[in-house]
Structure 1
Amino acid sequence: MRTFSNADQVAARKIKEGIEMKVLVWSGKLMMTQVSFKKGAVGDLHSHPHEQISYVVEGELTYTVGEEKYHMKAGSVVYVPSNVKHQVEALADAVLLDVFTPIREDYLPHPT
């Protein structure tokens, strides 16, 4: 459980080339992460049992959810239902805030 953080003080984890994630807060059934993309980075097409909301803090992306493609820029928000395949492509450097319910156990920091 982490109920308070400052994104500048959270260590980033490399997801793949051009994509880094910070797990900001989590408790109960909610989790928030910050994901940074370099222009041209493409996330893997994937699905998971968690519901997800993604908010674009800065930049520009193409966000695919199921068969729908969304052109997203700062201020855009998208909902991703449970078990629906989705993918992100960065059209410019970008930052997303992702909220998950329930929490992504696979994202929790490993004990040291």
Structure 2
Amino acid sequence: MSVVEIKNKLTGEKGMVRSKVLDFEQGVVVNLQLKAGKKIPRHHANCHVLVFVVSGEVWFGVGEQKFHLKTGSLLHMNPFEEHDIEAIQDSNLLVFKVGSQSSCNLKV
């Protein structure tokens, strides 16, 4: 069992904070904090990804679609789905990467 406390670390000019908060046998949980206007370019993961919006609002592009995610939204992506993110408001996301592929265990 693990218990983790997630703190707001979004300060300064950088506009993005990414930190691994939990590592387990077949995955990892990452806290992604973005300032309004910050964009993360298109990329993919080779495992299943769940994104939970703890607070804020983001545009989340998956393939050719764009989704407006806000506090309480949960999104699931299959392995290798191309995606990008743009923060509408300062946002705090939990990203769950699940799968046996070793690169799912993100090095942060």
Q: Which amino acid aligns with 1:88?
A: I
Name the SS of the counterpart of 2:45 in structure 1: coil
Q: Which amino acid aligns with 1:6?
A: E
Compute the displacement of 1:85 (Å).
0.5
Gapped regions of structure 1 (runs ≥ 5):
none
In 2, the alpha carbon distance for the partners of 1:108 and 1:43 equals: 17
- Aligned residue for 1:35? 32
**Structure 2 length normalisation: TM-score?**
0.83
In 1, the alpha carbon distance for the partners of 2:79 and 2:47 equals: 5
Q: Number of paired residues?
A: 101
Compute the displacement of 1:3 (Å).
3.9
Matched, 1:72 2:55: no
The percentage of counterpart residues that share the same residue type is 22
Of 30, 45, 63 in structure 1, the residue corresponding to residue 60 of structure 2 is 63
Runs of 4+ off more than 2 Å: 2-8, 102-105
Residues 3 and 26, structure 1, Cα contact 8 Å, conserved in 2 = no
Higher RCO structure, 1 or 2 (CA under 8 Å, sep 6+)? 2
**Structure 1 length normalisation: TM-score?**
0.80
Q: 1:45-80: per-residue Cα shift (whole Å, max 9, x none)? A: 101212100010100110011111101110111111
